[in-house]
């Protein structure tokens, strides 16, 4: 085989490899959709972050506008401190509030932003205290059971036990 044709074949091989890399980066990964370059950081304090993870999405009206950059515990307040990296072209009023929500019944947790009506906007580095913690399923269930038990306790003596609170 001639020198020229070997070089040709190797050139095709290398170009094929580059095409594969471009395919992986653009079609099979998130390079095209959301770059972490042009973002600003906000710091939010939550009483309970639930199962929130680093890189979890931040959504407003269902649209992803940023990602969770880091999570740590504030050693004085005993609150979870979540750093949010939000796209620079998206800004929220200072009376907006953050909630930790779950996508679907068993899905990942994400931070939802409910925009307020203030004229002033959050500036990079601002600290956000208007937050709502993640819903912990256990406390929800125990609350429900306690309420149920309390109801049963108050109604049972009046009507002669119609079977509502019976085991």
Nearest to other proteins of 33, 154 (CB atom): 33
Question: With binding defined as CB under 8 A, does residue 23 bind other proteins?
Answer: yes
27 binds other proteins (CB under 8 A): yes
Angle at 73 between CA 78 and CA 54, to 5 degrees: 140
Which span sits near other proteins by CB under 8 A: 53-61, 86-94, 109-117, 127-135? 53-61
Query: Interface residues for other proteins in 29-48 (CB under 8 A)?
Result: 29-33
Give the residue, chosen from 48, 50, 57, 101, that forms a contact with other proteins under the rule CB under 8 A. Answer: 57
* Position among 2, 28, 119, 157 found at the interface with other proteins (CB under 8 A): 28
Q: Sheet with 57-60: list strands edge to edge.
A: 127-128, 39-46, 79-87, 63-74, 57-60, 109-114, 97-102, 131-132
Residues 99/14, Cβ–Cβ less than 8 Å: no
């Amino acid at each position: 085989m001639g020198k020229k044709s070997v070089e040709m074949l190797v050139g095709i091989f290398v170009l094929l490899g580059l095409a594969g890399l471009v395919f992986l980066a653009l079609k099979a990964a998130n390079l095209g959709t959301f770059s972490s370059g042009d973002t600003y950081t906000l710091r939010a304090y939550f009483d309970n972050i639930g199962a929130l993870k680093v890189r979890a999405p931040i959504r407003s009206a269902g649209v992803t506008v940023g990602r969770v950059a880091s999570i740590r515990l504030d050693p004085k307040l005993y609150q979870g401190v979540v750093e949010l990296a939000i796209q620079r072209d998206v800004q929220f009023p200072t009376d907006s509030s953050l909630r930790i929500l779950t996508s679907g019944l068993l899905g990942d947790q994400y931070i939802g932003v409910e925009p307020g009506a203030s004229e002033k906007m959050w500036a990079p580095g601002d600290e956000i205290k208007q937050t709502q913690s993640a819903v912990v399923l256990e406390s929800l269930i125990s609350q429900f059971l306690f309420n149920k038990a309390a109801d049963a306790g108050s109604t049972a003596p009046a009507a002669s036990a119609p079977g509502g609170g019976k085991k």
